[in-house]
């Protein structure tokens, strides 16, 4: 396949849409790794696809061995938590009790949203570090997809995630926000899906 | 992500176990393989298995005694896709014979998926979603229908009142609008960017991309 043929037949779009016959697909694959334009066409589609469908849960086939390694790491972290309080503070993930400020000055900062406490006390974060927002989609019998959008008090979209499987919707969701995106103020995490879901509201203080 | 010209030197480094080349190999092909496997296998798990199996088989073939099967480094990309195609066919035929992944591959994939690289990827996804949210409803709906909801093509065509051939045109236009919105977004917030922001992808207006025809 030449580039002109690929362009004329919109082969990159057909490839993405899985419209090509096996022979055409092979011919296009043969071509596109040698063609800047077509590679970029396909990579752009891949980037959009990856952005639209988020929260890839990666499961490793050699799970048992990987799980053993992860368990060992968890034990090590547990020991560190018990014996090295300053390290434990970096990994602390439990929200502070109601009425107390939840300080998460760790390198990977975490805000665990909990409807019962969220409006009560601000989460204190370091502004230039990424923040992971943990929350659950409070529904029984989830029917994905759910689009979760975090907005500030002016309604500006700060970040979003799409939960696209039942399994993911049944488990805690994590939305990672890059450093520097938060300012002090009120935030709303809205969840759009198959039914009306109450939004999470919380306050952030950036230090 | 940019166009990358594979060559014999790249293949040699990969064969020799050069760490940064391996990282590039895993990262570069991740979106391509995900896109390729999307919808071709019965489940997301099967697609993920096939992706990991592709990595494993490519490295195994490359490192086989006698120098592996790759004669021409420039054709490495096509070689990876051929391996992936074979795995898909085996899955269709039901004679898949996945071997356990090497510990080393598992650890490398795990470290890539859990490292700072994952954070950068998440930032990239966030940017993509933000840009998509600025598109006109029709373009946004097309991209979401194709990539997110993975609605059957016939249903998408019916919803937008077009035939399958014209759906390619709509996708093409939506992608072009996305590229322009992406470029605009990047220009709008140059001072917001720092080194933690996602790398610039290939999402540039078409006139800035040089074509290397074959």
* Closest B-chain CA to A148: B129
The H-assigned helical ranges of chain A are 3-8, 11-16, 22-32, 36-52, 63-83, 85-91, 166-170
Q: Which of B3, B175, B196 is nearest residue A178 as measured by Cβ atoms?
A: B196
Cβ distance A54 to B2 less than 8 Å, yes or no, reads no
Q: Give percent of chain A above pLDDT 70.
A: 69
Tell me how far apart the alpha carbons of residues A56 and A207 are, in angstroms, rounded to a whole number. 31
Residues A42-60: pLDDT tens digits?
888 887 877 766 533 333 3
Please answer whether residues A128 and A180 qualify as being in contact, where contact means their C-beta atoms are separated by less than 8 angstroms.
Answer: yes
A36 contacts chain B (CB < 8 A): yes
Answer yes or no: is pLDDT of A195 > 70.
yes
Answer yes or no: is pLDDT of A66 > 50.
no
- A98 vs chain B: nearest CA distance in angstroms? 30
Q: Which residues of A touch B39 (CB under 8 A)?
A: 18
Q: Within 13 A of B179's CA, how many CA atoms are on the CB side?
A: 21
Residues A151-190: pLDDT tens digits?
888 887 888 888 878 888 888 888 888 878 888 888 889 8
Averaged pLDDT, A113-141 = 76
Cβ distance B106 to A18 less than 8 Å, yes or no, reads no
The H-assigned helical ranges of chain B are 8-15, 19-37, 44-62, 76-93, 103-114, 116-133, 137-143, 153-160, 164-188
Q: Which residues of B touch A39 (CB under 8 A)?
A: 3-4, 202
Averaged pLDDT, A97-118 = 52
B6 contacts chain A (CB < 8 A): yes
Tell me how far apart the alpha carbons of residues B176 and B103 are, in angstroms, rounded to a whole number. 42
Q: Which of B53, B75, B164 is nearest residue A19 as measured by Cβ atoms?
A: B164
pTM of the model: 0.54
Tell me how far apart the alpha carbons of residues A36 and B3 are, in angstroms, rounded to a whole number. 6
User: In chain B, positions 56-95, which contact chain A (CB-CB < 8 Å)?
Assistant: 74-78, 81, 85
Instruction: Give me the tens of pLDDT residue by residue for chain B, a chain 214 residues long.
Output: 566 788 889 999 988 888 888 888 988 888 888 888 876 777 777 888 888 889 888 988 888 877 666 778 888 988 999 899 888 888 777 655 555 556 666 666 666 655 556 667 777 778 888 888 888 988 988 888 888 766 778 888 888 889 888 999 999 999 999 988 888 877 776 555 444 444 444 444 444 334 344 3
User: Read out DSSP for B173-191?
Assistant: HHHHHHHHHHHHHHHH-TT
């Amino acid at each position: 396949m030449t580039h002109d043929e690929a362009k004329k037949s919109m082969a990159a779009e057909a490839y993405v849409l899985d419209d090509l016959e096996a022979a055409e697909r092979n011919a296009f694959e043969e071509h596109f790794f040698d063609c800047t334009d077509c590679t970029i066409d396909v990579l752009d589609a891949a980037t959009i696809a990856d952005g639209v469908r988020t929260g890839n849960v990666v499961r490793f086939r050699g799970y048992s061995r990987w799980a053993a390694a992860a368990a060992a790491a968890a034990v090590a972290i547990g020991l560190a938590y018990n014996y090295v309080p300053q390290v434990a503070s970096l990994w602390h993930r439990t929200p502070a009790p109601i009425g107390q400020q939840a300080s998460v000055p760790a390198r990977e900062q975490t805000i665990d949203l909990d409807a019962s406490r969220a409006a009560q006390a601000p989460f204190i974060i370091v502004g230039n570090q990424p923040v992971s927002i943990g929350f659950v989609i409070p529904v029984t019998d989830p029917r994905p997809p759910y689009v979760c959008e975090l907005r500030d008090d002016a309604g500006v979209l700060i970040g979003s995630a799409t939960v696209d499987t039942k399994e993911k919707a049944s488990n805690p969701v994590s939305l990672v926000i890059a450093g520097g995106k938060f300012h002090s103020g009120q935030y709303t995490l809205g969840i759009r899906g198959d039914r009306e879901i109450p939004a999470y509201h919380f306050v952030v203080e950036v230090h | 992500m940019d166009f990358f010209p594979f060559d014999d030197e790249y293949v040699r480094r990969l064969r020799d176990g050069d760490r940064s080349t391996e990282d590039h190999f895993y990262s570069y092909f991740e979106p391509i393989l995900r896109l390729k496997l999307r919808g071709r296998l019965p489940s997301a798990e099967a697609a993920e298995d096939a992706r990991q199996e592709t990595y494993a088989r490519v490295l195994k073939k490359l490192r086989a005694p006698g120098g592996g099967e790759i004669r021409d480094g420039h054709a490495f990309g096509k070689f990876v896709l051929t391996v992936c195609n074979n795995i898909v066919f085996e899955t269709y035929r039901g004679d898949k014979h996945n071997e356990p992944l090497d510990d080393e591959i598992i650890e490398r994939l795990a470290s890539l998926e859990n490292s700072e690289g994952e954070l950068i990827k998440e930032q990239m996804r966030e940017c993509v979603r933000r840009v998509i949210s600025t598109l006109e409803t029709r373009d946004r709906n097309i991209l979401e229908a194709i990539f997110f909801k993975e609605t059957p093509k016939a249903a998408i065509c019916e919803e937008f009142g077009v035939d399958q051939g014209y759906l390619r045109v709509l996708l093409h236009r939506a992608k072009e609008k996305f590229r322009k919105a992406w470029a605009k977004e990047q220009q709008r917030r140059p001072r917001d960017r720092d080194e933690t922001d996602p790398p610039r992808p290939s999402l540039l207006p078409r006139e800035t991309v040089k074509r290397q025809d074959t």
